[in-house]
Amino acid sequence: MTRCRRLVPALCALAAGLATAMPLAAQQPPSPAQTNPLPTTTAPNPPADPNKSAAPAPEQAIVPPPAGQAAQPADPSRPPLVAKPAEAGDVDEVTLPAKPAAILSGKATWEEAVPSLQKAFAQIEADLVKAGIKPAGRPIAVFTKTEDAGFDFEAMIPVAAAPTTPPASESGLRFGTTPSGKALRFAHRGSYEGIDSTYETLTAYLDAKDIVVQDKFVEEYVTDLKDGADDTLDVNIYALLK
């Protein structure tokens, strides 16, 4: 996993270096979450009519990674943060709702990213079963600190409501809320081993548009995170706007 060395520093540097850039216009957060597809610098697909010419591609076009075959739909009782599905290659401006969630903090090396996240999600699921609390959303990983050797993260699973009295947990489980506010959503379709290419598209897009983001990112696993080579994986990546 080379994401930290190649991509995360770019996000952090971008957030710091673009402090004078003009942010997107503020909007009142809608309820529930809404999406607004944004124009990308990706060259459009050729038109169906061969007699019509395609729109010219801008210079230094950003080409999204090849889309993997979508897996079976997720459990409808556990919807993603944004109801409208993401389209591979598109960038959507979304407003993330603050949902109550069970949270478990952890650390991992980049090489052990998938098994470490799997273990954290499995522990949360087990703790929720013991407490009699049903999950109400897809697993989420918030990457809070990154360096060459590895990263710190918060694994989250949304629930319908946080318990008034949190159950005792030896694992360190706690309750809070999912990241909320305005964000840009990038869809990754394909193996986790190939997710770096989507982050490259993300950082290039932010650079081209002069968009200021927070120095952390969010991954929401629309399909289960099985292993690094699973090419049916569907991940929503959110860049949180400042």
- 31 domain-assigned: no
CATH number of the domain encompassing residue 9: 3.20.80.10
pLDDT of residue 206: 95
pLDDT of residue 90: 86
Please give the Cα distance from 18 to 139 (Å, whole number).
Answer: 31
- 108 domain-assigned: yes
Mean pLDDT of 136-144: 97
Query: For 149-170, how does the pLDDT look when each residue is reduced to its tens digit (9 = 90+)?
Result: 999 999 999 999 999 988 888 8
Asked whether 160 and 79 are in contact (CB, 8 A), the reply is no
* Sole residue written with tokens 């809608």: 30
Query: For 53-75, how does the pLDDT look when each residue is reduced to its tens digit (9 = 90+)?
Result: 444 334 344 444 444 444 444 58
Please give the Cα distance from 101 to 78 (Å, whole number).
Answer: 12
Q: Above 60 in pLDDT, residue 121? A: yes
- 83 domain-assigned: no
Q: Above 50 in pLDDT, residue 52? A: no
pLDDT of residue 75: 82
Tally of domains within the chain: 1
Please give the Cα distance from 178 to 158 (Å, whole number).
Answer: 7
Q: Above 90 in pLDDT, residue 38? A: no
What would the DSSP string read from start to end of 12-65?
Answer: HHHHHHTTTSPPPPP-PPPSS--EEEE--SSPPPPPSSTTSPPPPPPTT--PPP
Please give the Cα distance from 144 to 91 (Å, whole number).
Answer: 23
Please give the Cα distance from 213 to 98 (Å, whole number).
Answer: 18
Which residue segment(s) compose the domain that 174 sits in?
1-17+90-242
